[in-house]
Amino acid sequence: RKEVEQDPGPFNVPEGATVAFNCTYSNSASQSFFWYRQDCRKEPKLLMSVYSSGNEDGRFTAQLNRASQYISLLIRDSKLSDSATYLCVVKGNNFNKFYFGSGTKLNVKP
């Protein structure tokens, strides 16, 4: 079983739409959770960390469900500039290793 699994998409949505991505992880001892954004042929960049209580940053909301080993990212009022691949990243119980999902591709259309 993969450490981190994501729906690859693509998700094709119109501007202004709300879109949600999900991610599951296999190791119940995982400590920390993140969403990264990757533009085509560029490096991943941290979008936001994911906390047990859920957290919001502008149009972006992240949720963690430890019982189901499930992370989500909600994007409200999608912009053209949100088009990218969104990577779910999990830090394992080994303090030094980060596991990447295969990414979910988002295309926001005018």
Partner 1 sequence: EPEVTQTPSHQVTQMGQEVILRCVPISNHLYFYWYRQILGQKVEFLVSFYNNEISEKSEIFDDQFSVERPDGSNFTLKIRSTKLEDSAMYFCATRTGLGEKLFFGSGTQLSVL
Residues lying near partner 1 in the complex (CB under 8 A): 32, 34, 36, 38, 41-46, 49, 87, 89, 91, 94, 96-103
CA 39, 43, 47: angle at the middle one, nearest 5? 70
Closer CB to partner 1, residue 11 or residue 36? Answer: 36
Q: Using only the alpha carbons of the chain, give its radius of gyration.
A: 13
Q: How far is the CB of 73 from partner 1 (least distance, A)?
A: 17
What backbone torsions phi and psi does residue 82 show, to the nearest 5 degrees?
-80, -10
Q: How far is the CB of 96 from partner 1 (least distance, A)?
A: 5
Token reading at 49: 């960390």
Q: How far is the CB of 77 from partner 1 (least distance, A)?
A: 26
Closer CB to partner 1, residue 78 or residue 101? Answer: 101
Closer CB to partner 1, residue 25 or residue 78? Answer: 25
Enumerate the β-bridge partners of residue 61.
56, 74
DSSP state letters, 77-104: S--GGG-EEEEEEEE-SSTT-EEE---E
Q: How far is the CB of 106 from partner 1 (least distance, A)?
A: 16
Token reading at 93: 């119980």
Closer CB to partner 1, residue 21 or residue 36? Answer: 36
